[in-house]
Structure 1
Amino acid sequence: MQKRAYLLIAVSGSLWGTIGIFVRELYGLGFSTLQIVTMRVFSAAVIMLLYLLFTKPELLKIRFRDSLYFVGTGILSIVFFNLCYFITIRETSIAIAVTLLYTAPAFVAILSRIIFRESLDAKKLFSLGLTLTGCAFVTGYLPELGNSPSITLPWLLTGLGAGFGYALYSIFGKVALKKYDTVTITAYTFFFASLALLPLVSFETSGEAFSTGSFWTYLIGLGFFPTVLAYLLYTKGLEEVESSRAAIVATVEPVVATFAGFFFFREIVSGWQLAGILFVLAGVVLIQERK
């Protein structure tokens, strides 16, 4: 059973690694970052809520006062992280964006120290150092300090913002897990994110794109494969595998994302950037609680 669980988690990480493909294609159809984020969370919310309604309707019951949990996971985390992540994909490359996204475990360690008073031991500090060094390699700020980095400061900040926003999901989710099932948290996360975004975005000028088959292919693909299906497979895998080990297996995501950027968009990764990706992955593995 554990082998099957590890396989499910690896597949979910691989699916997350394909996000950049759908996002790039939707940018090509003329959609803005805000529109793409809105379409992703809304399509995921519809699929997740319908899935629970017909399979486990009891998991849709929540207390009104607990909505604050999902404001945190949905708006402060998912909306913010997706906006930053998709902007970084647009302005840099899929490999750089996903590597900066994987600073999330480092942010989790720091925030957990501040909020939950969790220890920040030598192993965690070392992994933080590996993560920062890896990001410096990937973005071009090291080792050639005399030359211009491969991305400018604004896009470095959006990349780190994606990692920070992603980390907030673990913080708010940790509190919500004391009362609710993982699937319930995921469904209401996308629901609250949709509530926040739908009033802010307009699709009046996008009517022509809606009439194309490629749009619906990319939209359904984005909402289902790297979103709903990935979360469901990951959740199923967690039934047999510890969360710390699952997080390590899921680090296949940046590897898949890097290959996707190369094969689909001919994005070139330099030797230093490849070393940086490996540094970040090593940092993610070391920061886990168990050996």
Structure 2
Amino acid sequence: MSRLQDYIVAILAITLWATTGILIRTLVVDYAMPALLLAWWRDLLVALVLGAWFLLWKPQALVLPRKQWGFLAFYGMVLALFHVVWVYSVQANGAAVATVLLYSSAAFTAVLAWWLFGESLTVRKVLAVAASLGGCVLVSGAYTPDAWATNAWGIWMGLFSGLLFAAYSLTGRASGQRGLAPWVSLFYTFVWASVFQGLFNLWAWLLDGGSLFQALVPQLPFSGWFWLLALSFGPTLLGFGFYNHALSRLPASLVNLLATLEPAMTAIMAYFFLGERLTAIQIFGALVILVAVMIAQELTAPAPEAV
């Protein structure tokens, strides 16, 4: 492939990622799909498709030593929690704001890497963390009492989504250090995430009662199933695959820089498809977060992860 085609593949991956919030918002608002159920079925469908592919083409790749089992279960638990919180954030904040808040993960990654792995916490990293959190305050409206009175849940979900994505990214880095192949790691992570999310949904059913079938199987029309499949296979599988290809052909720093286009793409899509509009203060806060992301990416080059 030519260099131009490599750039196109990278942009395509980021564009697919940018649709994540749009598709989640469509399913939880237009189709009233419960957040827990959406997170579970998204991960379950990915696990089933990846499992079928491996069994047909590379079954030997799924054989792993026992020392990896516990790690992959933990990795899947982190993904399960992240996807649940991420759906709740999109539901409460809208696709554009939730995606911007998710990018606070770059700052959280720097702090967690310092705390867990002993990486240096330089002045530039501290500034990146402060700028990212300040941008989150502006985007979420957390500087006003009214925001806490009307959307405290959304603010917390937005911040926790960034924190959990940082934890997921660092666990992904550890996965690479343990010698796990990216696609094998992705498969087992989604399998375990599906297990944990299935338990979450069973727990919710025990609390609420009602029909077990309706609690575990989405009551969606054909169009709803189409959007659910699009969410599972577009941003997650294709986005991850295209991004990995771009990383193998282009400098990682350049590809990571291109990834910062995602919030802007989501905001544009949300404007046209969902009628969402960011205020001037939110746009300024988003720019502050993106600057913090670029500073953090200069200092730490995280491995790409499917979200």
- State the TM-score, normalizing by the size of structure 2: 0.85
Q: Which residue of 1 aligns with 2:205?
A: none
State percent identity of aligned pairs: 25
| Structure-2 residue corresponding to 1:104 | 105
Unaligned runs of 5+ residues in structure 1 are: none
TM-aligned CA distance change 1:75 to 1:243, over 3 Å:
farther
Judge conservation of contact 1:6–1:249 (CA < 8 Å) in 2. Answer: no
Deviation at 1:53, TM superposition (A): 3.2
Alpha-carbon distance in 2 for matches of 1:207, 1:176: 31
1:1-291 equivalent positions in 2, closer than 5 A? 1-27=2-28, 28-76=30-78, 78-142=79-143, 145=144, 148-149=146-147, 152-178=151-177, 179-201=179-201, 204-205=213-214, 210=219, 212-289=221-298
Q: Which has the higher helix share?
A: 2
SS at structure 2 position matched to 1:17: helix
CA pair 3-129 structure 1, distance change in 2 beyond 3 A: farther
- Asked if the contact 1:209/1:215 (under 8 Å) is kept, the reply is no
Q: CA deviation at 1:206?
A: 6.6
The answer as to whether partners of 2:25 and 2:95 remain within 8 angstroms in 1 is no
Q: For 2:33 and 2:10, how far apart are their aligned partners in 1?
A: 31
| Residues 209 and 200 of structure 1, relative CA distance in 2, 3 Å threshold | closer
CA distance in 2, matches of 1:29, 1:257: 20
What is the DSSP-based 3-state SS (H/G/I as helix, E as strand, rest coil) of the residue aligned with 2:142?
Answer: coil
Indicate if the aligned counterparts of 1:107 and 1:167 stay in contact, CA closer than 8 A.
yes
The question of whether the paired residues in 2 share the 8 Å contact of 1:182 and 1:235 is answered with no
Closer, same or farther: CA 278–55 of 1 in aligned 2, 3 Å: farther
Q: Which amino acid aligns with 1:267?
A: E
Where in structure 2 are there 5+ consecutive unaligned residues? 203-211, 301-307
- Give the deviation of 1:180 after TM superposition: 0.9
Q: CA RMSD in A?
A: 2.3
**In 1: Cα distance, 2:171 partner to 2:240 partner:** 17
Distance in 2, matches of 1:53 and 1:9, equals 29
